Amino acid sequence: MSADTTANAPADEAPAADLPDAEGRMRIVLEGDVDIYAADALWRRLIAGLRAATVLELDLSAVSLIDTTGLQILAQLQRTAAREGRSLRLSAHSPAAAEAIEFLGLAPLFGDPLPIQTPWA
């Protein structure tokens, strides 16, 4: 079982501690808009989670909107994970998240299959 936290608030409202489970896995649930307005706090939260865990799973089920800034954060986090010998996994893609990832052709970067087929796929 992995540690489970939510990342939807500004950094000063984030849960006090994101800690991995005994196997070094951590699960963070992203909620609401993953966009330029949340970018700074989101990046700090996710990079801290990645560095604390060997496997970081991002649950995208509650993402209502993701813009190119949000996708850039996920892509940079994936590159950082690979460079540092860690794993980043995306799971439970919301329709908004799946559509944005698929539309921009980013699914191969994350290496995980998308749960829905978009009209242009």
**117 lies in some domain:** no
**121 lies in some domain:** no
Count of all residues that appear for the chain in the document: 121
Q: What is the residue range of 94's domain?
A: 3-15+24-110
**119 lies in some domain:** no
**120 lies in some domain:** no
pLDDT in tens, the chain (121 residues): 345 555 544 443 434 357 888 888 999 999 999 999 999 999 999 999 999 999 999 999 999 999 999 999 999 999 999 999 999 999 999 999 999 999 998 999 988 766 655 554 4
CATH of the domain at 59: 3.30.750.24
Cα dihedral 16, 3, 55, 100 sign? negative
Cα dist. 85→50, 55, 101 in Å? 11, 10, 23
Which residue, 62, 73, 18, is CA-closest to 40? 73
Number of domains in the chain: 1
